[in-house]
Structure 1
């Protein structure tokens, strides 16, 4: 069994279905429950539900009440969506003890089960650091966020959650207070690292959060080991980070962009009404 969590709006339902198709094709847990957080009106819920069911998965919409963040700092820079993955435990069923959050710009190309079954008994989260890609930035982030006990700056696009521990420690008011009193660059990710960085288990990014913009850099820092062939055989999650996304027809970041476009096309064909 596997519980997956997404937080999307109407612009990203096709990308999320692409992620799910890639999981369906490359991982084979007996059951997958898909929880999708959104606020307000979501016009493509029917299409999303049909697509998820066609993949043999179970769809669970998680609707956030409109007035739930009335006391939260909300601006153009801090929309309510930044709180969803951090406070998901408030809205998920109380009997869930584990869930894997994924951004919708991710492909799964090998078995996801080993990550999902990672031992989290001593941690609230498991996540990856793009350590060797951003050594200077990582040092700056530790100083900026004052989280010197953390191993580094974690990317929140892949986040395995130990829900019982999170329910004990993560409180909305702590997050609201932090955002009111600090200048942040990436709000949800900065909060995760600043408040809970010492409770995150590091998992290798070359396996579970591969930054697709940096294939050549990965190959360099691994002394030639992490080639494209190695990635296709070993990497589990490809993360298409950054502003320019592979589903846009004008974007071409190389060989991994073509791989995404192939899955995106398959999803559109496979999940057609």
Structure 2
């Protein structure tokens, strides 16, 4: 089972939680690919995750299956060579765009499940992962809010705007169509609110939209497979946004009143002090 994560050193918190939760629900060997980079911006410099952190994660997942591995790719040079200048200073970190370079890493296999590091696994997903993707570039889930406002074409009636927190990528097809290369060029020249998510939604030709169970962006439900701890909109008692990440364990309990992941979060709290 091939998994893709992307980000800087700060993602190690979410990466640990995500992998612990996945190991709880599948005993398949995990082939985890991590894209990272050191990226200087006007506000700050994002530092690549270290090999020591990756080795720590690999040790943990091999406790479940000794055939699992975590492989790190520092793509700083690739990123800087095609720097997405138009989107370096949006409210989203430039590290969000790193997945758009996955097609340039030959070690990344033809089928791979991409997950944001604020996603937690709640159920087994073996059947979802094994679905036929011969004729699609991307399998994804509608964006809970954005799909009501954003359309690939203004005249589209059916909702089709996907959230980018979870994608099942057909990398063989993506390399053929040049989807990621086109998205990189768009991010270089056009400023967008959610750069890579917007670019992928605009440019993808062959996609499959599946149940929200595989990228639940609102509330945990009985059928939820992956819960995405993304920003939520609340309208009462006043309009406001709410962002709680899984590594904010106190807020998960006190604000979200969520206890479903207590075993995973307890293990995270035990391990994170010793993670390089």
TM (norm. structure 2) is 0.77
Residue 107 of structure 2 is aligned to residue 62 of structure 1: no
**Equivalent residue for 1:116?**
129
Native 8 Å contact 1:208 1:238 kept in 2: yes
Gaps of 5+ in 1: 216-227
1:83 Cα deviation after fit: 3.0
What CA deviation, in whole Å up to 9, does each residue of 1:122-142 have, x standing for no partner?
101111114xx54xx535311
Q: 1:177 to 1:150 in 2, by over 3 A?
A: farther
2:167 to 159, 163, 166: 159
Equivalent residue pairs, number: 245
What CA deviation, in whole Å up to 9, does each residue of 1:105-133 have, x standing for no partner?
11112112111111101101111114xx5
SS of the equivalent of 1:83 reads: helix
Deviates more, 1:2-11 or 1:262-271: 262-271
**Equivalent residue for 1:237?**
226
What CA deviation, in whole Å up to 9, does each residue of 1:196-224 have, x standing for no partner?
1x41111101x21112x345xxxxxxxxx
Deviates more, 1:63-72 or 1:239-248: 63-72
Q: How does 1:105-254 map to 2 (within 5 A)?
A: 105-130=118-143, 133-134=144-145, 137-142=146-151, 146=154, 148=156, 152-170=160-178, 174-179=182-187, 182-196=190-204, 198-205=205-212, 207-211=213-217, 213-214=218-219, 228=221, 231=222, 234-242=223-231, 243-248=243-248, 249-250=250-251, 252-254=254-256
Residue 50 of structure 2 is aligned to residue 51 of structure 1: no
CA RMSD of aligned residues (A): 2.7
SS of the equivalent of 2:10 reads: coil
Native 8 Å contact 2:36 2:76 kept in 1: no
**Equivalent residue for 1:86?**
100
SS of the equivalent of 1:16 reads: helix
Q: 1:173 to 1:117 in 2, by over 3 A?
A: closer
